[in-house]
Amino acid sequence: MGKETKRISVEELESHNSKKSAWINIDNKVYDVTKWIKHHPGGAAAIINVAGRDASDLMRQFHKPELWTNKIQHWYVGDLIPVEYPVGSTEYATAKKSAAIAKDFRELGQWMQDNGWYVSDKSYYAGKAVQLMVLFFAAWWLMFDGVSAGDGHDPKWTFYVSAFALGLFWQQCNFIGHDVGHTSVLHSSNSHQKLGFFVGNLFTGLSLCWWKHSHETHHVATNVVSHDPDIQHLPVFAITDKMFKWVKGEGAGYFSSYWNTFMPFDAAARFFVSYQHIFFFPVMSVARFNLWAQSIIFVFTHEKSYGWKKVGEIMSLAAFYGWYGYLMSLCPTYSSMVAYWY
């Protein structure tokens, strides 16, 4: 006789919701993925945020079937016992609505796949690459022309056009970098990583590994206050009053599972958030420093930064600060340097 299949209750599944013990449900099959957390390419947070609950649709959205269907069988624990709510109850209505929404999204995803929406257009990205190079070299040419009068002299108008061209170059790089980070341009993860060294690290100073770790967590728990790092901006900004809730033993605020810390809504946060509509653009004008700092900290300290990727990250970031530092050094006066930076 074969081994009897273990039956897992929803309550037991939900109790395994931490880094120490992480179980997930995929199509009513329960798997213990605890040992995989430290090896997960998308980072630990992406798994911990779904530990103890259903991850069926997330697995399909983020992974090709051939990458996980065989591997995950080694971590099989048992079958989930379906929960049946009384017909007419609030729980029954909620579950029915959720199932209908999930079904619609699955059908939409299948339709998009069948019609080639997930196949990248290489000619589009080739054209974008040409546009980026034109903007990049135009920024340099315009800079040299703009400062041709020499040190101590006010720069020509082409100096300011150079700043605009560089800003537009960075903006476009970030869009392409987004697609590269989502592995949506080429065919393999390693190819995207190497391309990301250029589009992200070398050209914009943003670590691709840091971005993937943060942004993939965002997609796993989109706009969930306690899990999504892309919306966790206290004490400066807040996007929902859920960030002001009182937490016993901590005060007003919320716990961030991504940063593993409590983010308080204290007096400073109250002041900034009250005037965030005024502070938004001034803060965003210097926000790149925060992104640059997070990139450097991640590359040198995070467990996901290792091996050839770490070497590539460090070298490409160093090259960025080299060319950008030299470009800024061409500014003839301190006031023009500030103007160019902004």
Give me the mean pLDDT over the 88-111 stretch. 88
Summarised one tens digit per residue, pLDDT across range 317-327 is 999 999 999 99
Q: Residues 137-162: what's their mean pLDDT?
A: 90
For residues 172-197, average pLDDT: 88
Contact of 258 with 236, CB cutoff 8 Å: no
Structure tokens belonging to residue 265: 């809504």
Res 202 pLDDT > 70: yes
Are residues 29 and 80 in contact, defined by beta-carbon separation less than 8 angstroms? yes
Tens-place pLDDT, residues 110-140:
898 889 888 888 999 999 999 999 999 999 9
Q: How many residues does the chain have?
A: 342
% pLDDT > 70, the chain = 98
Contact 176, 199 (CB under 8 A): yes
Region for 255 from its dihedrals, namely left if φ exceeds 0, alpha if ψ lies in -120 to 50, beta otherwise = beta
Query: Out of 270-274, 300-304, 321-325, which region has the weakest mean confidence (pLDDT)?
Result: 300-304
Q: Per-residue confidence at 48, pLDDT binned at 50, 70, 90?
A: confident
pTM (global) more than 0.85 = no
Cβ-proximal residues to 287 (8 Å cutoff; 6+ apart), any chain: none
Q: In which band, very low, low, confident or very high, does the pLDDT at 3 lie, cut at 50, 70 and 90?
A: low
Indicate whether 36 pLDDT > 50: yes
Q: Give the per-residue pLDDT at 89.
A: 87
> Would the pLDDT of 66 be above 70?
no
- pLDDT tens digits for 49-65? 888 989 888 888 777 77
Report the share of the chain in percent with pLDDT over 90: 51
Judge whether residue 2 has pLDDT over 60.
no
Residue 1, pLDDT score: 44
| pLDDT value at residue 123 | 93
Mean pLDDT for 151-157 is: 82
In this structure, of 41-55, 128-142, 207-221, 287-301, the range with the lowest mean pLDDT score is 41-55
The mean pLDDT value for 258-287 works out to: 93
- CA-to-CA dists, residue 14 to 9, 24, 55, 254, angstroms: 9, 9, 12, 21
> What pLDDT is recorded for position 227?
87
Q: What is the model's pLDDT at position 310?
A: 92
Split at pLDDT 50, 70, 90, the class of 39 is: confident
- Between 193-197, 219-223, 260-264, 334-338, the lowest mean confidence (pLDDT) is in 219-223
Confidence at residue 198, expressed as pLDDT on a 0 to 100 scale:
93
Mean model confidence pLDDT for the chain: 89
